[in-house]
Amino acid sequence: MIDKKRHAHDLLPENPSEQERLKHRAEVFGQNIPLKADEEQQVTYVRFLLGSELYGIPFEFIAEIISQPSIWVPPGVPDFIGGVINWRGKIITVVDLLAYFHDQAAVRNRKHVLVLKGRSCLLGLLIDEVIGGYQYKISGLAAPLRARGIAAAEQIIGIDEELTAIINVEMLMQVLIQDTKKNIQWTGERHETRE
């Protein structure tokens, strides 16, 4: 035997004191309670290794982590471009982030690609090793370090307690697009590196 479906209104209490108690609970649960300092929202991120350096990217930007990808390197690309991959039917540019940050040639034998999704594009990052998932508090980040040989310190949000540089993904993508356009000139079916 199947019970007849009941409307939510039928489940409300009839007793006025029970109705008042229910109304009070609804008001309490509906309040915006400010977070205390120790309850500040934490951001979950993927920590990974580039050379001997630790970096992190918030999970919200990670579309996929690919191991041992097949990367094709078009001729004439800037030194920091590791190549392109076919990801689910889309051609995605892959950047060697360590080469980009330290202004050196890409090392194309890195083991993994992080596929990132930004507001306007997809991008792959060549990395050495995925360490795991971690969390940080925004207020707990130290200022990014500026050091000789690091070209892109402004693309780091900050350094967490574990000495992981947290990357500002939207800014990184925007700057990479601009830098790539500066270095590549498209001409018909071929492209040339600008001098």
Give the predicted TM-score (pTM) of the model: 0.67
Rounded mean pLDDT of the chain?
Answer: 78
Which helix (H) or strand (E) covers residue 194, if one does?
Answer: none
Q: Is 70 exceeded by the pLDDT of residue 29?
A: no
Report residue 56's pLDDT band, with 50, 70 and 90 as the boundaries. very high
Q: Is 50 exceeded by the pLDDT of residue 129?
A: yes
* pLDDT score for 63: 93
Task: State the fold for domain 40-165.
Answer: OB fold (Dihydrolipoamide Acetyltransferase, E2P) (2.40.50)
Strands (E), 13-59: 42-50, 53-58
Residue 80 burial (10 A CB sphere; 0-12, 13-18, 19+)? buried
